[in-house]
């Protein structure tokens, strides 16, 4: 729960940014190692990661501006800093960038989506730890022993115990990562693991929203993220039913020949 960790001269290392950086690095390393193991291009994984990072940053910021449009109009510069993102905007923009890249390189997007889904969940898990350190995405007030009190320098309310929803989300994303690592080895059709990620994250995010207490925008009685979660879950179910996907060929470990 500390925004600024330390400074080296004029450079200050922020907890949120550090966790995002760790998550991205772990995501890329995992993706490259698994790409080599399952006979896909590790260079493509790096390219997709870089494009996804850039597009994801812009998409997450854009959706945040849309959600906080009134605040943006009142003070545009206040929302264009290093804080203030909506994860779904980043995921959507990152996926679109990956689809365009795969199409241009004549690669099958769903194969890389399946492979990288676990890595995406891993990056999100570290990112939520960064949220906890910054105090954003905080939960409702509580008297439970698991409640935390954030310091005055954080983005969360001070002086009251709130649910550490950031850590709940982080733990959930780690669980999703392990489930996807297992699922990838047992998938029947190309796209199964990617769609399973959409389903798991969409359901988890929908229910997590009930515990959060930060301003996230509204679509009727739902938060913006809950509304998007329902769309993501519906899309995942429809994609699972898509009969045009090809069966998964038995992966060959390029290092052992098995």
Residue pLDDT tens, the chain, 258 long? 666 666 677 776 677 788 889 999 999 999 999 999 999 999 999 999 999 889 988 888 787 777 766 665 666 665 555 556 677 788 888 889 999 999 999 999 999 999 999 999 999 999 999 999 888 889 999 999 999 999 887 888 988 999 999 999 999 999 999 999 999 999 999 999 999 999 999 999 999 999 999 877 788 899 988 999 999 999 999 999 988 888 987 654 444 443
Residue 20 to residues 27, 46, 173, Cα–Cα distance (Å): 10, 17, 14
How far is Cα 47 from Cα 45, in angstroms, rounded to an integer? 5
Helices of type H across 38-164: 42-67, 69-74, 87-104, 109-134
Note whether 127 and 20 are within 8 A (CB): yes
Question: pTM of this prediction?
Answer: 0.85
Read off the tokens for 144: 């439970």
Q: Encoding tokens for residue 216?
A: 């996230």
Q: What is the pLDDT of residue 6?
A: 61
d(C-alpha 177, C-alpha 21), whole Å: 18
DSSP 67-97: HTHHHHHH-GGGGSSS----HHHHHHHHHHH
């Amino acid at each position: 729960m500390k925004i600024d960790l330390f400074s080296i001269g004029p450079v200050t290392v922020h907890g949120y940014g550090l966790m995002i950086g760790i998550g991205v690095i772990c995501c890329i390393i995992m993706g490259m190692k698994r790409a080599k193991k399952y006979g896909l291009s590790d260079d493509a994984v790096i390219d997709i990661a870089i494009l996804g990072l850039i597009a994801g940053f812009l998409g997450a910021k854009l959706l945040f501006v849309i959600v906080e449009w009134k605040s943006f109009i009142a003070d545009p510069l206040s929302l264009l800093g290093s804080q203030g993102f909506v994860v779904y905007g980043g995921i959507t923009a990152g996926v679109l960038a990956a689809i365009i890249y795969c199409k241009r390189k004549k690669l099958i997007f769903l194969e890389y989506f399946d492979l990288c889904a676990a890595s995406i969940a891993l990056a999100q898990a570290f990112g939520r730890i960064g949220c906890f350190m910054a105090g954003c995405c905080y939960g409702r007030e509580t008297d439970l022993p698991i409640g935390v009190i954030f310091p005055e320098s954080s983005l969360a309310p001070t002086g009251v115990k709130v649910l550490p929803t950031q850590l709940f989300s982080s733990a959930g994303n780690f669980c999703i990562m392990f489930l996807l690592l297992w699922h990838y080895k047992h998938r029947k059709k190309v796209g199964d693991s990617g769609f399973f990620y959409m389903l798991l994250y969409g359901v988890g995010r929908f229910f997590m929203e009930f515990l959060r207490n930060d301003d996230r925008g509204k679509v009727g009685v739902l938060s913006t993220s809950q509304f998007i979660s329902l769309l993501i879950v519906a899309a995942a179910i429809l994609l699972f039913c898509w009969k045009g996907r090809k069966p998964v060929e038995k992966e060959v470990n390029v290092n052992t020949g098995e």
